[in-house]
Chains A and B, each alone.
Chain A
Amino acid sequence: MKKYKITGLILIAFLFIVSCDNEDWLERDPKNIITDEQLWNDPQLIQSLLANYYDRLPSMHGVFNSGGMTEIDDAMWSGHFDQNWRNDFQYGNDYGRYWDYTFIRDINLALDNLNEFSTEIDANQKSLFTAELRFIRAFVYFEMVKRMGGVPLVTEQLVYDFNGDPEYLQVPRAKEYEVYDFIYNELEEIKDSLEGNNGSQTRANTFTALALESRAMLYAASIAKYNNLMDTPITLSGEEVGIPVEKADDYYEKSLTASQTILESGGYSLYNENPDKKVNFYEMLMSKNNSEVIFAKDFETSLKTHFFAFENMPRSITEDNEYPSNLTPSLNLVESFKYLDGSDGDLNITGTDGQPIVYDNLTDIFENKDARLYGTVIYPGTNFKSVPVDIQAGVADWGDSGYEFFAAQDLGARYEDGGLWTGYDGPQNNAQFVTNTGFYIRKFLSEASGASLRGVASENWWPWFRLGEIYLNAAEAAFELNQAGVAKNYINTLRERAGFPANSLENITIDDIRGERRVELAFEDHRFFDMKRWRIAHEIWDGNENNENAVVYGLYPYRIVRPGHPDNNKYIFTKIRPTRFRRARLFRLANYYSSIDQAVLNNNPKLIRNPFH
């Protein structure tokens, strides 16, 4: 017994002595935590962190936000009734509020860490990553300034030192133009460091920085100019809101210079692959890696998808079993596309005698329209995915002396003469999941198999910047700088791609440029901000039920039933105001700058409220 005890003791003592020696064996890297040193010295890991930050780039009605797109005058909501508030609301004081200092802090933290821990990666690579982070930060500040006005400029981490006085962490709001200047200076500083990404369309490169510069400077310039043309300019005494008018020209010049650099040396070109101009415009946003898109948010089946096609596919074509046809474009938008002969875009619905004009085919009323109309909107008589979209509201039965309109309860029903009564795709008034305006969206709507199926979904990308916008930015800036000739050439180039003849405009006005912007960039998250920076949003969307611009209208086609008459089976159209569209758009002066959240104001007493809030 004694022998065993002693042996045991010796063994234990021995183990102690041996194991104590080997400290390396206990020292192990955790398998579930990546340390700062590991992260910031591994280009692969830094890239996946950047992917997260690129994914978080903010937008308002953009990145396939079907709901947001139906909240202005370009479209209305035809989806589920429980979201009909989108057709029945006024912009609240917080509409468009964006105050994302969580993201700003994440970027600042990443910049600090990159600076501190990255010792082993290539210097060029390090400066490229730094520049990309600063680009993202400038992008976020731009989103904030265009919605909130001047915001606190925080460019480093705010760390509390527990001294009892947090006052040094309370950063006041910068002046509105200081934020724009910050964006400009940042982009100017980093644009050369971004050269390593040139050629990429999903990571920021030199021309992406210039594209952001072109847009941001144009916004600053137009606020400087148009705010001060208002009878009562919107300003705060500390200039947190409102830019002095004398800065306008400088900003316009900066924007024009940036735009022209992209146009001249960017290596981009307007997409012009398909001789059919109509299809060409649609393909421009759908085919990836084309020469027009400067910067995009990419999607890929099985990896990262979006539901734009699921949400907005015409009712009869959708592959899924519920919730199609949410976003339906308005007649107002359709009419803003001009005719190719240069005349105004109003559709000829009734003749001079007050009688509806009879058309042989459904598409005839849209004949000779700007080719971009086809690329943006699915209108009656056209195809999608090579299948006809069945848009017909009902029949116009000629009784004894005039038309009587009948619409079927069931979509696709046959009328008593055996012909189609109401199409499988409506339009149907006051119904859900079928268009209420007579139109569907084509832009961004993927034709790929399974794109409208929830399990597969869409993989077409979202264009943050494309050359078409740069042409428009350049034209606007040039026009404001009294270079109407230069502006005219840019606009005419863009119009040629849309099917207009060469040099289609001889004289150019600011309204031409604004009209082009609306049709070229429809649904690309521009219109709301364009209306704001031109300071006309409160006049266009004035809440007046009799104002054609503030109300969303629809266009309903009817098949004529008049046996024995030459008009039989031809079509007439009526303009209607959809029942579901309840309230004219109302944009108040208070909406030019969103209110700051009360909790934010409580935390930082140095913040000034925005005007009217």
Chain B
Amino acid sequence: MKKYIKIILFVFVITFTSCEKDNFDAPNALLKGQINYEGTPISVRSNSAEFELWQDGYALDEFIPVFIAQDGSYSVSLFDGEYKMVRKGGDPWLPQLNDTINIQVNGNTQYDVTVTPYFYIQNENFENVGNTINATFQINKVVEESNLQAINIVLGKSKLIDQNINDFSEEINLDQINLGSPSTVSIDIPDNLIGLEFLYIRIGVDSSSSNELIYTNVQRIDL
């Protein structure tokens, strides 16, 4: 019996000491924030836009991809330390590859990233009248060389909508739009969406400089 106690004790000791050796700490800090332009939050297509996060001081250089949610927020689990964030190309804003943002991550850190979109939409407001929706919004140009290519109003039954995933999308005639001043357009709700209690809606603007659209945040309208 005495022998067994010894063995059990031995196993206990082994179990408790070895745990120390091979376990790494999980990332304990959270970096999060919101994409904005001059304080206006910017929204994107889900699963499209990305930042790169780099950390110096290691032998191999590999970035951590930072995925941006549909509403323009992001969050990433990290270790404390100093990171560099890069706004790379392919998104509806100017790539700023040489203008790196230094971020000191310490515990939970909030960092709102400012980007320069080619266009942005503000003061959007949607109103449901009968079977039409009146949309009021203002589109502003930011980057001079960029041209307005298309404006789409996107409707959907679920909250996750964009130009690629939607139940209905209507392209707005660009003649109706004056850049920098409010415009109102009305669209008819298609037959397959009539009679629902509510719909989700957002506006997307396509510029000639990027093949990703920039959006307003998704709004719910009650019908």
Contacts and interface: CB of A to CB of B under 8 A. Distances in A.
A544 B90 contact: no
A434 B67 CA distance: 39
A92 to B, nearest CB: 12
Nearest to B149: A231
Nearest to B90: A612
B208 interface: yes
Nearest to B208: A231
A381 to B, nearest CB: 34
Interface in B122-177: 145-147, 163-166, 169
Contact of A588 (B88, B90, B163, B166): B90
B210 A232 contact: yes
B1 interface: no
Interface string A528-541: 00000000001100
Interface string A544-566: 11100000000000000000000
A590 interface: yes
B165 A231 contact: no
Given A231-B145, A543-B163, A543-B164, A538 B211 contact: yes
A542 B149 CA distance: 13
B89 interface: yes
Nearest to A234: B89
B211 A542 contact: yes
Binding site secondary structure of chain A: loop
Given A231-B146, A602-B60, 9 more contacts: A231-B145, A231-B209, A544-B164, A544-B169, A545-B164, A545-B165, A598-B62, A601-B61, A611-B89
B89 A589 contact: yes
B192 to A, nearest CB: 13
A-B residue pairs, 7 tightest by C-beta = A612-B90, A231-B208, A543-B164, A538-B211, A232-B209, A602-B60, A589-B90
Interface in B201-223: 208-212
Nearest to A546: B169
Contacts of B62: 598, 601-602
A223 to B, nearest CB: 18
B114 to A, nearest CB: 20
A589 B166 contact: no
Contact of B164 (A539, A586, A590, A602): A586
10 contacts: A231-B145, A544-B163, A584-B164, A586-B164, A588-B48, A588-B211, A590-B90, A611-B89, A611-B90, A612-B90
A84 to B, nearest CB: 18
Given A544-B164, A545-B165, A602-B60, A231 B89 contact: no
Interface in B88-127: 88-90
A538 B206 CA distance: 13
B88 A612 contact: yes
A409 B147 CA distance: 52
Given A545-B164, A584-B164, A598-B62, A589 B147 contact: no
Nearest to A550: B164
B210 A589 contact: yes
Contacts of B89: 232, 589, 611-612
A289 B88 CA distance: 51
A162 B120 CA distance: 57
Contacts of A612: 88-90
A601 B61 CA distance: 8
A264 B145 CA distance: 47
A515 B18 CA distance: 68
Contacts of A598: 62
Interface in B177-210: 208-210
Nearest to B59: A602
Contacts of A602: 60-62
Interface in A552-592: 583-584, 586, 588-590
A586 B147 CA distance: 22
Which among B48, B61, B211 has the greatest number of chain A C-beta atoms within 10 A?
B211
A583 B211 CA distance: 17
A218 to B, nearest CB: 25
A605 B59 CA distance: 10
Nearest to B168: A546
Which among A539, A545, A583, A584 has the greatest number of chain B C-beta atoms within 10 A?
A545
A145 B51 CA distance: 27
Contacts of A590: 90
Nearest to A537: B211
Contacts of A542: 211
Nearest to B94: A232
Interface in B58-73: 60-62
A418 B135 CA distance: 56
A590 B212 CA distance: 11
B166 A545 contact: yes
A584 B163 CA distance: 11
Contacts of A586: 164
A588 B163 CA distance: 14
Contacts of B61: 601-602, 605
B119 to A, nearest CB: 13
A584 B162 CA distance: 13
Contacts of B208: 231
Contacts of A543: 163-164
Which among B61, B89, B164 has the greatest number of chain A C-beta atoms within 10 A?
B164
A588 B45 CA distance: 13
A583 to B, nearest CB: 8
B163 to A, nearest CB: 6
Nearest to A231: B208
A231 B211 CA distance: 11
Contacts of A605: 61
Nearest to B165: A545
Nearest to B146: A231
B167 to A, nearest CB: 9
B209 to A, nearest CB: 5
A545 B211 CA distance: 15
Contacts of A589: 89-90, 210-211
Contacts of A611: 89-90
A109 to B, nearest CB: 29
A450 to B, nearest CB: 44
A167 to B, nearest CB: 15
A227 to B, nearest CB: 14
A583 B60 CA distance: 36
Nearest to B167: A545
B58 to A, nearest CB: 11
Nearest to B152: A544
A251 to B, nearest CB: 26
A114 B217 CA distance: 65
A601 B212 CA distance: 28
A590 B211 CA distance: 10
